[in-house]
């Protein structure tokens, strides 16, 4: 590759940016170029050029800010998350009060979907949180790596989007992009699964199954007593 000697000399002596070097190389063709004490170049002893570096500085500042955030904020956060135990939380009758959704449906619709009430379109977005659920996950969030692990009726496509809507409405800051919907919960690896039923792989979960609604864990208060460090 041929390198113009004057460009190379200019690059070495002044250690300027690539942008200035390219400009110099263009200007040098047909003009006398000198280096003033102030500014970047003087062409033909009368035209002073200053190469504006606003964009370069902006990029440099962005890089510095990103590095700063990575070192002082992101990596400690990431490391803390990696050291946390992982907890999966079921939705229906654990985070979400299933009956509260049904209470908002007309008798006509209930009759139409008799025997398959979980197929009522839009039902899952109507449901209210279980008592103490919102406060509990905010508390657990400080100590555990949390995910929602739920199933949705196969024949009710709106249930899948309803669940995203519900999580976004009530708990987006805790579970943003942390919603897993599948029918084989045992495929997920973690330390605890809080679930009210042993179906869909829950009873085969490799970690500990906290059976919500059982004698040992009748409500969120009892779950928090078990999972949160004392004091």
In the bound state with Mg ion, the residue whose beta carbon lies nearer, of 4 and 222, is 222
Q: By CB under 5 A, which span of 1-9, 52-60, 84-92, 126-134 interacts with Mg ion? A: 84-92
In the bound state with Mg ion, the residue whose beta carbon lies nearer, of 20 and 196, is 196
Is residue 92 part of the contact set for Mg ion (CB under 5 A)?
Answer: yes
* Closest approach of Mg ion to the CB of residue 138, in Å: 20
Selecting among 40, 44, 92, 173, the annotated active-site residue is: 92
In whole angstroms, what separates CA 155 from the centre of its chain?
29
Residue with tokens 């500990």: 208
Residues near 38 by beta carbon (within 8 Å), at least 6 away in sequence: none
In the bound state with Mg ion, the residue whose beta carbon lies nearer, of 52 and 187, is 187
Selecting among 40, 90, 195, 196, the annotated active-site residue is: 90
Range 3-16 burial, b when 16+ CB lie within 10 A, else e: eeeeeeebbeeeee
- One of 20, 40, 90, 162 touching Mg ion (CB under 5 A): 90
In the bound state with Mg ion, the residue whose beta carbon lies nearer, of 21 and 219, is 219
Closest to 218 measured CA to CA, from 131, 104, 126: 131
Q: By CB under 5 A, which span of 59-67, 86-94, 107-115, 164-172 interacts with Mg ion? A: 86-94
Residues near 106 by beta carbon (within 8 Å), at least 6 away in sequence: none
Question: Measured between alpha carbons, how far is 121 from 81 in angstroms, rounded to an integer?
Answer: 37
- One of 4, 21, 25, 93 touching Mg ion (CB under 5 A): 93
* Closest approach of Mg ion to the CB of residue 196, in Å: 4
In the bound state with Mg ion, the residue whose beta carbon lies nearer, of 40 and 90, is 90
Longest dimension (CA), the chain: 92
Is residue 196 part of the contact set for Mg ion (CB under 5 A)?
Answer: yes
Q: Is 90 a catalytic residue?
A: yes
Tell me if 49 sits within 8 A of 43, measured CB to CB: yes
Question: Measured between alpha carbons, how far is 226 from 161 in angstroms, rounded to an integer?
Answer: 32
* Closest approach of Mg ion to the CB of residue 56, in Å: 56
Q: Hey, how many other C-beta atoms are within 10 angstroms of the C-beta on 80?
A: 10
Question: Count of residues binding Mg ion (CB under 5 A)?
Answer: 4
* Closest approach of Mg ion to the CB of residue 193, in Å: 11
* Closest approach of Mg ion to the CB of residue 231, in Å: 31
Sign, CA torsion 131/140/175/218: negative
Q: Is 145 a catalytic residue?
A: no
| SS3 state at 186 | helix
Return the active site residues. 90, 92
Q: Which residues of the chain form contacts with Mg ion (CB under 5 A)?
A: 90, 92-93, 196
């Amino acid at each position: 590759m041929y390198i113009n000697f004057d460009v190379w000399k200019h690059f070495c002596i002044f250690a300027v940016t690539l942008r200035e070097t390219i400009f110099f190389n263009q200007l040098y063709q047909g003009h006398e170029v000198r280096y003033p004490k102030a500014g970047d170049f003087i062409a033909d002893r009368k035209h002073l050029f200053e190469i504006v570096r606003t964009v370069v500085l902006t990029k440099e500042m962005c890089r510095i800010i990103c590095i700063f955030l990575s070192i002082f904020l992101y990596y400690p956060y990431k490391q803390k998350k990696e050291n946390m135990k992982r907890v999966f939380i079921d939705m229906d009758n654990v985070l979400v009060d299933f009956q509260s959704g049904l209470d908002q449906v007309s008798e006509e619709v209930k009759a139409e979907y008799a025997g398959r009430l979980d197929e009522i379109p839009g039902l899952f977005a109507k449901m209210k949180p279980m008592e103490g659920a919102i406060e509990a996950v905010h508390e657990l969030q400080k100590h555990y790596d949390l995910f929602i692990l739920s199933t949705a009726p196969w024949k009710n496509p709106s249930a899948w989007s309803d669940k995203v809507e519900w999580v976004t409405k009530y708990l987006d800051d805790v579970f943003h992009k942390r919603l897993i919907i599948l029918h084989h919960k045992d495929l997920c690896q973690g330390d605890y699964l809080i679930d009210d039923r042993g179906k869909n792989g829950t009873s085969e979960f490799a970690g500990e199954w906290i059976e919500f609604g059982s004698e040992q864990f009748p409500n969120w208060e009892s779950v928090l007593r078990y999972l949160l460090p004392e004091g």
